[in-house]
Amino acid sequence: MAKFYNPVKLYFENSGMVQLKEDLKDINAENILIITWNKALFATDSILLNLLPPQVYKKIIAFDQSNPDMEDILAMSEEIKDFSFDFILAVGGGSVIDISKSLVALKHQEFETIEQLRDIIVNGKYEIGLEEIPMLAIPTTSGTGSEVTPWGTIWDREFNKKYSISSSKLFPAYALILPELTMKLPLRSTISTGLDALCHATEAYWSMHSNPISRSYSLQAIAMILQQLERNDFALDNYEIRKQLAMGSVLAGLSFSNTRTTACHSISYPLTLHYNIDHGIAVSMTLGKMFEHNQQRIIDLPSLLSAFQVEDVKDVEKRIIEIYKKYDIPFRLMDYQVKRSDLSIIASQSFTKGRMDNNPVDLTEHDIEQLLNSII
Q: List the domain boundaries for the chain.
A: 9-180, 186-374
Distance between CA atoms of residues 252 and 360, nearest Å: 19
**pLDDT for residue 299:** 97
Answer yes or no: is pLDDT of 30 > 70: yes
Mean pLDDT taken over the chain = 96
8 A C-beta contact, residue 262 and residue 358: yes
Answer yes or no: is pLDDT of 122 > 80: yes
Interior CA angle at 256 toward 293 and 288, to 5°?
25
DSSP 260: -
8 A C-beta contact, residue 131 and residue 103: no
- For residue 98, CA distances in Å to 64, 103, 104, 148, 343 come to 12, 9, 10, 11, 29
Q: Which of 283, 289, 282 is CA-nearest to residue 313?
A: 289
Answer yes or no: is pLDDT of 347 > 70: yes
**9-180 CATH pick, 3.40.50.720, 3.40.50.970, 3.40.50.1970, 3.30.2130.30:** 3.40.50.1970
9-180 and 186-374: identical CATH topology: no
Answer yes or no: is pLDDT of 1 > 90: no
Per-residue pLDDT tens over the stretch 280-309: 999 999 999 999 999 999 999 999 999 999
Answer yes or no: is pLDDT of 44 > 80: no
In order, the DSSP letters of 212-230 are HHHHHHHHHHHHHHHHHHT
Distance between CA atoms of residues 153 and 151, nearest Å: 7
What burial class does residue 354 get, using C-beta atoms within 10 Å of its C-beta: 0-12 exposed, 13-18 middle, 19+ buried? middle
**186-374 CATH pick, 3.40.50.2300, 1.20.1090.10, 2.40.110.10, 1.10.10.10:** 1.20.1090.10
Q: How confident is the model at residue 52 (pLDDT cuts 50, 70, 90)?
A: very high
Per-residue pLDDT tens over the stretch 133-168: 999 999 999 999 999 999 999 999 999 899 999 999
Mean pLDDT of the region 241-267: 98
Helix (H, G, I), strand (E, B) or coil at 148: helix
**pLDDT for residue 55:** 86
Per-residue pLDDT tens over the stretch 184-229: 999 999 999 999 999 999 999 999 999 999 999 999 999 999 999 9
In order, the DSSP letters of 45-88 are T-TTGGGS-TTSEEEEEE---SS-BHHHHHHHHHHTTT---SEE
Answer yes or no: is pLDDT of 67 > 70: yes
